[in-house]
Amino acid sequence: MSTPVKKVPIHLQSSQNRLLVKNGKVVNEDGMVDTDVYIEDGIIKQLGRNLIIPGGTRTIDARGKYVMPGGIDPHTHFEFEFMGTKSVDDFYQGTKAAVAGGTTMIMDFVIPRKDESLLEAYERYRANADEKVCCDYGLHVAVTSWSPKIKEEMATLVQEHGVNSFKMFMAYKDLFMLHDQELIEAFTACKNLGCVAMVHAENGDIIAANAKKLLDAGVTGPEGHEMSRPEEVEAEATNRACVIANQVNCPLYVSSVMSKSAADVISAKRGDGYVLFGESIAASVGIDGSAQYGNDMNKGRLCIMSPPLRPDPTTPIDLIEKLSQDGLQCTGSDNCTFNADQKALGKNDFTKIPNGVNGVEDRMSIVWDKGVHAGIMSPTRFVAVTSTNTAKIFNLYPRKGVIAVGSDADVVIWDPNRKRVISADTHVQAVDFNIFEGMEVTGVPEYVIVNGRVCVDDCDLKAVHGYGKFIETPVYPPYVYDQIEEREKRPRGVARTAAEMKKYADEDAALA
């Protein structure tokens, strides 16, 4: 465990904060170039060959390696109170694991307790996270009920607290779920504030009815989870969310796209010009959901999450292909970890299994292995789907998500050929199992530089408790709102000529 440190202002830190990354291949979403990277005071200061730099600067030789923007995980749930328990990776352990895997920023979700206001919940998350995070973080806020007060609080969060994204749940009936009228109003509020609406897309009414039917029929095992919420239940809600958002011209980000059918909806609607983004997660591109239907019910419980992992074994490759072809845009982890004994809360009733799996640590390796190493995805697209697109959608770009002069020095030096075997015995996360247990992946972060500090040093993790900070996300991300504004300008009525209008006016006058 690393030692907690006091935050030392960057400008008071010494020449350790000067770093030259030499001889690597710099990969951004738009191309690759052989160049050196000079970092000072947490910022990328120069790119090029034969740079003139101060003496005493540490040099890292990145020959044969890729030098990429640190990963940004848009979807974590650290220390989340949920389904009668609490996720075990807290903001320290969770961000430490993120850094170990090559992720240098995470975005978590403020989810209010029952009777807690959005602002109180936000303050609680800030208090929990600020002192613990090992890397920078941002916050999305979940809107789990609807009222004029919630609408006011959304405005306050945007104007005073650096929030630009709100998540609405279409599942978890009687807990977080919003109905269509509420979604219309919440999406409209997001649009009016210049924010991005996010959804957990599953039809919560159908799930509740199906779950009851299955339990009444004696189906209590983990298979009941996926049976109660099959692909079309996800695809229907995804389609509905897309239509509602499109009708109010609000940008929409669909979290945790878990099925081919839901991914098909997103990729088709994007083709139709919707301002829409789809997120796959490490779990769904790394494994399928067949364990839920296996004889080992303990194992089946461990991979329960929502929307569920799909038993269709062709799902992971389909999602990776869509990620590489821009059918989907981002990869998160939806990291929400519960130990095996917490999962056992649902051993006699699948509806009581706490939902959530790991992924924050292994996300980058899984996407590299299943995408780039498998020959499906280019390194530039890897950067887009693990970092840049998230930075653009949530208005962190070009501060984050790119290796460029002036950007934060969040950098990963990636060995594309090194292999490792994923295991709970060696992972950093707090959770006592790993859904990718035993999987060999090719592609390992050798160095991870967080705001200019080497936090993984030749594969040795040196993450620092409390070193990260909260990053505000400004409203009206241009990457998103340029499209929204363009659509706003489009004429809605029929463009009639002056002569036609006069003809109608004359006819009206004649009738009067």
Residue ranges in contact with ligand URP by CB under 6 A = 77, 200, 256, 305-306, 334, 336, 355-356
In the region spanning residues 183 to 212, those forming contacts with Zn ion, defined by CB under 5 A, are: 200
Closer residue to ligand URP, CB minimum distance, 143 or 305: 305
Q: How far apart are CA 117 and CA 453, in angstroms?
A: 37
Q: How far apart are CA 358 and CA 376, in angstroms?
A: 24
Closer residue to ligand URP, CB minimum distance, 35 or 144: 144
Q: How far is the CB of 200 from ligand URP (least distance, A)?
A: 5
Among 205, 220, 327, 315, which Cα is nearest to 264's?
327
Q: How far is the CB of 336 from ligand URP (least distance, A)?
A: 4
Closer residue to ligand URP, CB minimum distance, 29 or 334: 334
What is the enclosing helix (H) or strand (E) of 138? strand 136-143
| Cβ proximity of 352 and 302 under 8 Å | no
Among 279, 283, 284, 229, which Cα is nearest to 254's?
279
Which of ligand URP, Zn ion, none does residue 322 bind (CB under 5 to 8 Å by kind)?
A: none
Q: How far is the CB of 356 from ligand URP (least distance, A)?
A: 4
What is the enclosing helix (H) or strand (E) of 155? helix 148-161
Q: How far is the CB of 109 from ligand URP (least distance, A)?
A: 7
Question: What is the longest distance spanned by two Cα atoms in the chain?
Answer: 90
Chain-centroid distance, C-alpha 373: 22
Site string for Zn ion, 315-344 (x = CB under 5 A): -------------------x----------
* Interface with Zn ion: number of residues (CB under 5 A): 2
Q: Taking the CB of residue 363, how many other CB atoms lie within 10 A of it?
A: 29
Closer residue to Zn ion, CB minimum distance, 62 or 237: 237
| Cβ proximity of 153 and 161 under 8 Å | no
Closer residue to ligand URP, CB minimum distance, 256 or 434: 256
Closer residue to ligand URP, CB minimum distance, 45 or 200: 200
Which of ligand URP, Zn ion, none does residue 356 bind (CB under 5 to 8 Å by kind)?
A: ligand URP
Q: How many residues does the chain have?
A: 512
Q: How far is the CB of 72 from Zn ion (least distance, A)?
A: 16
Q: How far is the CB of 76 from Zn ion (least distance, A)?
A: 8
Which of Zn ion, ligand URP, none does residue 65 bind (CB under 5 to 8 Å by kind)?
A: none
Which of ligand URP, Zn ion, none does residue 386 bind (CB under 5 to 8 Å by kind)?
A: none
According to DSSP, the residues that pair with 85 across neighbouring strands are 82
Q: How far is the CB of 172 from ligand URP (least distance, A)?
A: 7
Q: How far is the CB of 199 from Zn ion (least distance, A)?
A: 9
Q: How far apart are CA 7 and CA 30, in angstroms?
A: 35
Closer residue to ligand URP, CB minimum distance, 24 or 356: 356
| Cβ proximity of 40 and 2 under 8 Å | no
Which of ligand URP, Zn ion, none does residue 400 bind (CB under 5 to 8 Å by kind)?
A: none
Q: What DSSP string describes 5-49? A: -PPPPGGGS-GGGEEEEES-EEEETTEEEE-EEEEETTEEEEEES
Q: How far is the CB of 200 from Zn ion (least distance, A)?
A: 3
User: Distance of CA 6 to CAs 2, 3, 32, 390, Å?
Assistant: 13, 10, 37, 30
Closer residue to Zn ion, CB minimum distance, 334 or 410: 334
In 162-295, which ranges are E strands?
A: 165-169, 196-200, 252-254, 276-281
Closer residue to Zn ion, CB minimum distance, 36 or 334: 334
Q: How far is the CB of 375 from ligand URP (least distance, A)?
A: 30
Closer residue to Zn ion, CB minimum distance, 80 or 447: 80
Q: How far apart are CA 70 and CA 386, in angstroms?
A: 8
Closer residue to ligand URP, CB minimum distance, 336 or 448: 336
Q: How far is the CB of 357 from ligand URP (least distance, A)?
A: 7
Which of ligand URP, Zn ion, none does residue 355 bind (CB under 5 to 8 Å by kind)?
A: ligand URP
Query: Buried (b) or exposed (e) across 143-172, using 16+ Cβ within 10 A?
Result: bbebeeebbebbeebbeebbbbbbbbbbbb
Q: How far apart are CA 206 and CA 201, in angstroms?
A: 12
Contact residues for Zn ion (CB under 5 A)? 200, 334
